[in-house]
């Protein structure tokens, strides 16, 4: 008995140690010298061996050895082993892997932003030698865009290589084979593909192959959608369930695509809940992408909260990419409309918010009193031309379901078939069930139709979902009108009129309610997001291994689908980057970001300032510099360039003692708001501060730029000198911006730190180089 007790006491610490083991990323910075790949792996193995009990234990614990640009490894470690490694001199940081959940983060969108038919046609006609036309970018030909996502459906016509030239000589990647994916699925358009599972499987066990393919093939739809948005070929006569008919095209239709599948189904959850992506898998993908020779990385992945740069795998990988002059665009996230919710805030990343286009899928709702409300939907199902009984979800609950603040959310099993059968049901957004799932619950209970009512937070932001029954989505204001009508009569009635695609909808763009907002919580002196692009109800290619709703209860298969999220806006900007990269091959990644930001638009199609989804004025914490305009960005006049060393000095200043062990921080480094960024944010200003910016001339050789300022309310702003003279292309001129509080003793309006916004602009009569400002008082 004593032996048993002793054995258990001996075993408990071992069991606890096993239970605590998780994947850690051990990061050394950059590679020094020209070590062979096997030498790098042996070097990493030696560190593991120093904390493991045996050679076998060290070997079995290693998941990835990052050998190309990123120097580090991912391994299963105990907290004690991770702590020992972090104390070693050569190790820059050791941090646990963070699971990154996909934040769902076209035909019309490219026309809406100015890339009209003449600019997106793919005929490679001889280009004019003068002017900065995006046609000279040859629609992105020879530019390679890496998609870090959840795979691709290679048979889509959007990925045809018909008429395309040879694969760029700079490409060094592979076409990794796997289940339902072989080398024949790669071509001159889809030039490479890889997949990464080690991190996912170390946490969840072997992949459930009924939910996804063990290969680069997409069984979800998200990855196919984003890839075709960037670089899909022109495909005529497409639609999504009959909606948005026309010609589908990516923004850079002749760019090449490299697929890096890192996201997989959430174990025990339906596809509707999204995917999960592991940091160690993403780092391996980015490391390979750098070595493969991509020019642009599009990453529509984020977290619900950002991590410090030293613990953020995407930020670390993107910094290495930037060193290799690869432009990285990332989604800001879908955690809006609350403030301080954005992810991917590193200044070497283009952080993209989401806004609307001028297309609507109008599906009217007619009430029994004659009132007609304009909702939206892309459901193909239709009601007969008659009125049906109308009920509110909270009034038709199964006995025993509590009538609390989620009673109207149509959560699973909440509706009583006896009270719902043959009726149209109004459900409100929120609760456990997702939008599609609410419609499925109405259908389960025998409902004939479904109304999705916005909450005040969603405003007029109407998602066009492909529901499994006749349905429409209405604004918060209209949802209130419906509820009031139901209360006003003993026999409320309604019908849903079949939807239609409507172009030139106004106002557009407006900011999507879901787009994550600033201020930046990692560094409040860097304004984020950087820019916004189309992300609401976007049409693009889809996986035929999935359904349009991604629900297992949905038997439909589509080639194209309508989807929303910053995941959709990010590839729009990545496509613009590809075009600019082709047009200006010698520009740095920072110059390209600057061109996009300083030329972005601030007004909608009725000539008014861009608003949020409720019609209130939007601000730079929602749209950054504004709505992207690729044709304007082709010729920005001036750019704010930033070097790789500038980023390392920036990291020194914010207390990250460089993400590279070989870089020695100076005793005094520039303040973070002195980073040569195309925007300016000053947090907790006490009296006044002066920052410096340097503009590089990329326009006319001889030019004179005059400054103008729209000061944030409560502050004065002065730019010196107020005139910049340039006499050759590439010339740099520095200027100072002094921001002073008019009343430094004024208190903040609330506890969430009230910011005021303004702009400073340079103009030469042709170019308008505009930068946003955000300032708060201490």
The strand ranges marked E within 102-249 are 144-149, 190-195, 235-240, 243-248
123's CB contacts (< 8 A; 6+ apart) are: none
Annotation says 149 is catalytic: yes
Assign residue 714 a region (left: φ > 0; alpha: ψ between -120 and 50; beta: otherwise). left
| Beta bridge pairs of residue 563 | 538
Phi and psi (nearest 5°) for 162?
-60, 125
In the DSSP assignment, the letter for residue 46 is H
Which H/E stretch holds residue 320? helix 313-323
Tell me the C-alpha distance between 651 and 672, whole Å.
8
Q: Which of 149, 554, 612, 646 is catalytic?
A: 149
Tell me the C-alpha distance between 518 and 31, whole Å.
34
673's CB contacts (< 8 A; 6+ apart) are: 525, 526, 680, 681, 682, 689, 691
Tell me the C-alpha distance between 295 and 109, whole Å.
23
Tell me the C-alpha distance between 295 and 257, whole Å.
10
Counting DSSP H helices and E strands in the chain, the numbers are: 18, 35
Which H/E stretch holds residue 13? helix 2-20
Q: Which residue in this structure is represented by tokens 């950054």? A: 624
- Residues constituting the chain: 778
Pairing of strands 70-77, 638-639: unpaired
Tell me the C-alpha distance between 10 and 769, whole Å.
69
Tell me the C-alpha distance between 649 and 167, whole Å.
38
Q: What is the DSSP string of 93-136?
A: EEEE--EEE------HHHHHTT--HHHH----PPPPSSS--GGG
Q: Which of 97, 160, 513, 567 is catalytic?
A: 567
The strand ranges marked E within 519-609 are 531-534, 538-541, 560-563
Tell me the C-alpha distance between 588 and 595, whole Å.
11
Positions marked catalytic: 149, 222, 567
């Amino acid at each position: 008995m004593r032996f048993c007790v002793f054995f258990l006491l001996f075993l408990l610490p071992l069991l606890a140690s096993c239970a605590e083991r998780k994947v850690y990323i051990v990061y050394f910075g950059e590679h020094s010298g020209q070590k062979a790949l096997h030498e790098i792996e042996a070097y990493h193995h030696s560190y593991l061996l120093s904390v493991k009990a045996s050679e076998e234990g060290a070997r079995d614990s290693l998941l990835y050895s990052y050998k190309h640009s990123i120097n580090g490894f991912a391994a299963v470690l105990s907290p004690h082993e991770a702590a020992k490694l972090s104390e070693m001199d050569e190790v820059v940081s050791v941090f646990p892997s963070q699971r990154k959940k996909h934040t769902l983060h076209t035909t019309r969108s490219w026309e809406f932003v100015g890339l009209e038919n003449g600019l997106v046609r793919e005929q490679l006609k001889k280009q004019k030698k003068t002017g900065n036309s995006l046609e000279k970018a040859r629609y992105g030909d020879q530019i390679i865009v890496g998609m870090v996502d959840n795979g691709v459906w290679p048979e889509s016509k959007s990925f045809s290589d018909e008429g395309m030239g040879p694969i760029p000589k700079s490409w060094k990647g592979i076409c990794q084979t796997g289940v339902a994916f072989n080398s024949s699925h790669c071509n001159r358009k889809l030039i490479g593909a890889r997949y990464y599972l080690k991190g996912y499987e170390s946490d969840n066990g072997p992949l459930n192959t009924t939910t996804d393919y063990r290969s680069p093939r997409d069984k979800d739809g998200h990855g196919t959608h984003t890839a075709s948005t960037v670089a899909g070929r022109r495909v005529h006569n497409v639609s999504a369930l009959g909606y948005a008919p026309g010609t589908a095209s990516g923004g850079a239709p002749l760019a090449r695509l490299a697929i890096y599948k890192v996201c997989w189904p959430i174990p025990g959850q339906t596809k509707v809940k999204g995917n999960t992506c592991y940091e160690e898998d993403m780092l391996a993908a980015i490391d390979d992408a750098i070595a493969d020779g991509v020019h642009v990385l599009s990453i529509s992945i984020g977290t619900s909260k950002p991590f410090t740069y030293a613990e953020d795998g995407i930020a670390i990988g993107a910094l290495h990419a930037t060193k290799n002059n690869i432009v990285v665009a990332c989604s800001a996230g879908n955690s809006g409309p609350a403030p301080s919710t954005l992810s991917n805030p590193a200044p070497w990343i283009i952080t993209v918010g989401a806004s609307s286009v001028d297309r609507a899928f109008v599906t009217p709702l007619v009430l029994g009193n004659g009132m007609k409300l304009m909702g939206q939907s892309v459901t193909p199902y239709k009601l007969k031309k008659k009125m049906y009984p109308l009920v509110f979800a909270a009034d038709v609950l199964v006995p025993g379901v509590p009538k609390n603040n989620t009673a109207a959310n149509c959560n699973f099993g909440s509706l009583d078939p006896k009270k719902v059968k043959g009726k149209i049901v109004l459900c409100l957004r929120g609760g456990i069930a997702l939008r599609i799932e609410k419609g499925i619950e109405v259908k389960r209970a025998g409902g004939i139709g479904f109304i999705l009512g916005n909450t005040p937070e969603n405003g007029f932001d109407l998602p066009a979902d492909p529901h499994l029954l006749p349905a429409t989505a209405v604004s918060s204001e209209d949802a209130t009108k419906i509820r009031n009508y139901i209360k006003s009569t003993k026999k409320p009635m309604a019908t849903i009129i079949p939807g239609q695609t409507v172009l030139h909808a106004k106002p557009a763009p407006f900011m999507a309610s879901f787009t994550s907002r600033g201020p930046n919580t990692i560094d409040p002196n860097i304004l984020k997001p950087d820019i916004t692009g189309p992300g609401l109800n976007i049409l693009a290619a889809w996986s035929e291994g999935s359904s349009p709703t991604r629900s297992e209860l949905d038997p439909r298969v589509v080639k194209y689908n309508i989807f929303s999220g910053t995941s959709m806006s990010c590839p729009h900007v990545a496509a613009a980057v590809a075009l600019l990269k082709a047009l200006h091959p010698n520009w740095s990644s920072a110059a390209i970001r600057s061109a996009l930001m300083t030329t972005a638009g601030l007004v909608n199609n009725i000539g008014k300032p861009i608003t949020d989804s409720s019609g209130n004025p939007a601000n730079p914490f929602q749209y950054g510099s504004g709505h992207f305009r690729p044709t304007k960005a082709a010729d920005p006049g001036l750019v704010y360039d930033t070097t790789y060393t500038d980023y390392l000095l920036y990291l020194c200043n914010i207390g990250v003692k460089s993400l590279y062990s070989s870089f020695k921080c100076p005793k005094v480094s520039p303040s973070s708001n002195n980073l040569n960024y195309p925007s300016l944010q000053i947090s907790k200003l006490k009296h006044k501060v002066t920052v410096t910016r340097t503009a590089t001339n990329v326009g006319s050789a001889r030019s004179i730029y005059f400054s103008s300022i729209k000061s944030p309310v409560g502050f004065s702003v002065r730019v010196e000198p107020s005139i910049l003279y340039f006499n050759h292309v590439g010339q740099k001129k520095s200027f100072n911006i002094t921001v002073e509080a008019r009343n430094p003793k004024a208190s903040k309006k609330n506890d969430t730190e009230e910011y005021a916004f303004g702009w400073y602009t340079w103009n030469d009569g042709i170019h308008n180089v505009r930068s946003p400002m955000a300032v708060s008082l201490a």
